[in-house]
């Protein structure tokens, strides 16, 4: 009998256990962040279940059409947004929510307020749903100094003030990558247990990568430095091998691959989109927090 293997299979590091371990490193902690993260995990499980049925969208009511009873069906991205808003508000640990799906920030009822602000994209890459490409949820968490008088200005904090960030990727498996400021760890959802199990401890980007990831369809609109850099990836002048191009078109999936295999992911500003197309609050800052 392989006792070591048996111990590995029975002594599982779940995401809940991991977060509680991290909490124990801070004796002054009251567990508020732990509770908030558990609600985010619950939202990820719900969305993962819905995404798995996306191929049956017209049958399950996720296609955004009207069913035979004349009832309006909700698109998966709208449903995902409602799931996360409800999960975050019901945690009792948030005071303001900023979602990619909502034009305005959501200020939580004062009776349910906590001290955290969560910025999130409930379903990044949702245009890829119909073709089965990996999509995901991105989130970043900030602390608000005064939850009772919180204003929109207090939400606009620099990325360095973020206290936790992560993403959940829905693909061939459901993978949640999380950092609370002490390393980055990856967890995979075990459907038989309904739990996220640590499968990628202490993730570190390889120092050198062989992959570059960019939408070359925008090349004609790039500035000169960007065009030269990509050209150098394809035709290096130092005798090294050319880099391989891998572009999925779903930020979560492209960043996840970069995190594990190394390389670079870029979505530069160009003549068509001078300010770029990535959103700072709920895409750039959380992903940068994980990379750093």
Q: Are 139 and 167 spatial neighbours (Cβ–Cβ below 8 Å)?
A: yes
Examine the fold and report which residue of 203, 225, 244 is the final residue of a domain before the chain moves on.
203
Q: Could you tell me if residue 86 is inside a domain?
A: yes
Q: Could you tell me if residue 2 is inside a domain?
A: no
Going by pLDDT thresholds of 50, 70 and 90, the confidence category of residue 9 is: low
Whole-number Å distance between alpha carbons of 289 and 163:
9
Tens of pLDDT, residues 120-148: 999 998 878 778 889 999 999 999 988 88
Domain with residue 264: its CATH number is 3.40.190.80
Give residues with Cβ within 8 angstroms of 17, minimum separation 6.
none
Tens of pLDDT, residues 192-227: 999 999 999 999 999 999 999 999 999 999 999 999
Which of 193-210 are b and which e, b meaning 16 or more Cβ less than 10 Å from the residue's Cβ?
eebbebeeeeeeeeeebe
Looking at the structure, tell me whether residues 109 and 221 fall in a common domain: no
Tens of pLDDT, residues 73-113: 468 888 999 999 999 999 999 999 999 999 999 999 999 99
Whole-number Å distance between alpha carbons of 202 and 184:
5
Looking at the structure, tell me whether residues 76 and 180 fall in a common domain: yes
Q: Could you tell me if residue 283 is inside a domain?
A: yes
Mean pLDDT of the region 39-63: 78
Q: Could you tell me if residue 1 is inside a domain?
A: no
Looking at the structure, tell me whether residues 95 and 193 fall in a common domain: yes
Which of 132-163 are b and which e, b meaning 16 or more Cβ less than 10 Å from the residue's Cβ?
eebbbbbbbbbbbeebeebeeebbebebeebe
Q: Tokens 């002594």: give the residue.
A: 11
Looking at the structure, tell me whether residues 180 and 253 fall in a common domain: no
Looking at the structure, tell me whether residues 153 and 265 fall in a common domain: no
Parent domain of 278: 211-291
Q: In this prediction, what percent of the chain has a pLDDT beyond 90?
A: 72
User: Sheet of 164-170: strands edge to edge?
Assistant: 106-107, 94-99, 116-124, 135-143, 164-170, 174-179, 185-190, 195-200
Q: Could you tell me if residue 7 is inside a domain?
A: no
Q: Total structural domains in the chain?
A: 2
What average pLDDT does the chain have? 89
Q: Could you tell me if residue 4 is inside a domain?
A: no
Domain with residue 150: its CATH number is 3.30.540.10
What are the φ and ψ backbone dihedral angles of 138, each rounded to 5 degrees? -120, 140
Looking at the structure, tell me whether residues 51 and 128 fall in a common domain: yes
Looking at the structure, tell me whether residues 162 and 86 fall in a common domain: yes
Examine the fold and report which residue of 172, 203, 234 is the final residue of a domain before the chain moves on.
203
Whole-number Å distance between alpha carbons of 25 and 31:
12
């Amino acid at each position: 009998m392989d006792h070591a293997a048996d111990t590995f299979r029975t002594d599982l590091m779940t995401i809940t256990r991991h977060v509680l371990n991290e909490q124990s490193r801070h004796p002054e902690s009251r567990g508020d962040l732990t509770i908030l993260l558990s609600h985010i995990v619950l939202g990820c499980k719900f969305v993962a279940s819905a995404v798995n049925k996306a191929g049956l969208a017209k049958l399950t009511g996720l296609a955004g059409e009207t069913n035979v009873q004349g009832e309006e069906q909700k698109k998966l991205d709208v449903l995902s947004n409602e799931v996360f808003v409800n999960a975050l508000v019901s945690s009792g640990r948030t005071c303001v929510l900023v979602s990619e799906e909502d034009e305005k920030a959501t200020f939580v009822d004062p009776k349910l307020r906590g001290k955290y602000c969560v910025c999130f994209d409930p379903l990044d890459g949702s245009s890829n749903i119909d073709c089965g490409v990996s999509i995901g949820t991105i989130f970043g968490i900030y602390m608000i100094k005064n939850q009772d008088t919180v204003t929109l200005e207090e939400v606009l904090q620099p990325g360095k003030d973020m206290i936790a960030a992560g993403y959940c990727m829905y693909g061939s498996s459901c993978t949640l990558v999380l950092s609370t400021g002490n390393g980055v760890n990856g967890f995979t959802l075990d459907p038989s247990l309904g739990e996220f199990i640590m499968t990628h401890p202490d993730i570190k980007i390889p120092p050198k990568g062989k992959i570059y990831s960019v939408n070359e369809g925008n090349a004609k609109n790039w500035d000169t430095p960007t065009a030269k850099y990509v050209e150098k990836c394809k035709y290096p002048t130092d005798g090294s091998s050319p880099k391989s191009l891998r572009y999925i078109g779903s930020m979560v999936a492209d960043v996840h691959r970069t995190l594990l295999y190394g390389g670079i992911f870029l979505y530069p500003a160009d003549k068509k989109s001078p300010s770029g197309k990535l959103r700072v609050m709920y895409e750039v800052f959380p992903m940068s927090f994980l990379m750093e």
